[in-house]
Structure 1
Amino acid sequence: MSRQIITSSTINQTDIAADNENEVSLMADLKSLFKLPVLIANAVPVFTGFWLAVYFTEASFTANAGLFLLTLIGSTLVMAGALVLNNWYEADIDKVMDRTKKRPTVTGNISMRTVMWIGSSASVLGFLMLAFTRFEAVIYALIGWVTYVIFYTMLTKRRYTLNTVIGSISGAVTPLIGWAALVPATHVMPYVLALIIFIWQMPHTFAIAIRKYDDYKAANVAMLPVVYGMDITKRQMVVYIACLVPLPFLLFPLGTAFVVIATVLNMAYLALAFSGMFTTENRKWADKMFMVSVNYLMIILAVAIIVTSPWLN
Structure 2
Amino acid sequence: MMASQEKTGKVLDVQHVTNLVTDVKSLFKGLVLLSNVLPVFTGLWLALYFTNASFLDHLGVVLLTLIGSTLVMGGALVLNNWYDADIDSVMERTKNRPTVTGTMSLKFVLLLGIALSVVGIVLLLFTTMEAVIYTFIGWFTYVFLYTMWAKRRYAFNTVVGSVSGAVTPLIGWSALDSSFHLVPIILFLILFIWQMPHTFAIAIKKLDEYKAAGVAILPVVRGINHTKWQNLFYIVCLLPLPFYLNSLGPTFITIATLLNIFWLFFSVYGFFMKDTVKWARINFIYSVNYIAILYTLMIVVTFF
TM over 0.5: yes
1:150 shift after superposition: 0.2
Matches within 5 A, 1:91-240: 91-240=85-234
Matches within 5 A, 1:10-89: 10-89=4-83
Which ranges of 4 or more aligned residues in structure 1 deviate by more than 2 Å? Answer: none
CA distance in 1, matches of 2:192, 2:177: 22
Q: Which amino acid aligns with 1:176?
A: L
TM-score computed with the length of structure 1 as normaliser: 0.96
Q: Which amino acid aligns with 1:77?
A: L
Q: Which amino acid aligns with 1:138?
A: V
Q: Deviations over 1:230-271 (max 9, x none)?
A: 100000000000000000000101111100110000000111
**Is 2:245 the partner of 1:251?**
yes
CA distance in 2, matches of 1:155, 1:59: 41
> Where does the alignment leave 5 or more consecutive residues of structure 2 unmatched?
none
**Is 2:292 the partner of 1:295?**
no
What's the C-alpha RMSD, in Å, of the aligned pairs? 0.5
TM-score computed with the length of structure 2 as normaliser: 0.99
SS state at 1:125 partner: helix
Identical amino acids, percent of aligned pairs:
57
Q: Which amino acid aligns with 2:120?
A: G
SS state at 1:277 partner: coil
The equivalent residue for 2:84 is 90
In the alignment of these two chains, the number of paired residues is: 304
CA distance in 1, matches of 2:90, 2:181: 45
Q: Which amino acid aligns with 2:291?
A: L
CA distance in 2, matches of 1:293, 1:16: 42
Q: Which amino acid aligns with 2:286?
A: V
SS state at 2:96 partner: coil
> Where does the alignment leave 5 or more consecutive residues of structure 1 unmatched?
1-6
1:278 shift after superposition: 1.1
CA distance in 1, matches of 2:297, 2:93: 32
1:194 shift after superposition: 0.5
Q: Deviations over 1:18-54 (max 9, x none)?
A: 0110000000000000001000000000000000000
CA distance in 2, matches of 1:185, 1:198: 16
1:66 shift after superposition: 1.0
CA distance in 1, matches of 2:273, 2:262: 17
1:280 shift after superposition: 2.3
CA distance in 2, matches of 1:141, 1:170: 9
1:186 shift after superposition: 2.1
1:206 shift after superposition: 0.2
**Is 2:248 the partner of 1:278?**
no
CA distance in 2, matches of 1:227, 1:183: 42
CA distance in 1, matches of 2:197, 2:207: 15
SS state at 2:179 partner: coil
Select the structure of larger CA radius of gyration. 1
CA distance in 2, matches of 1:299, 1:94: 30
SS state at 1:64 partner: helix
Q: Deviations over 1:159-193 (max 9, x none)?
A: 10110000000000000000000111122101101
CA distance in 2, matches of 1:17, 1:191: 52
Q: Which amino acid aligns with 2:8?
A: T
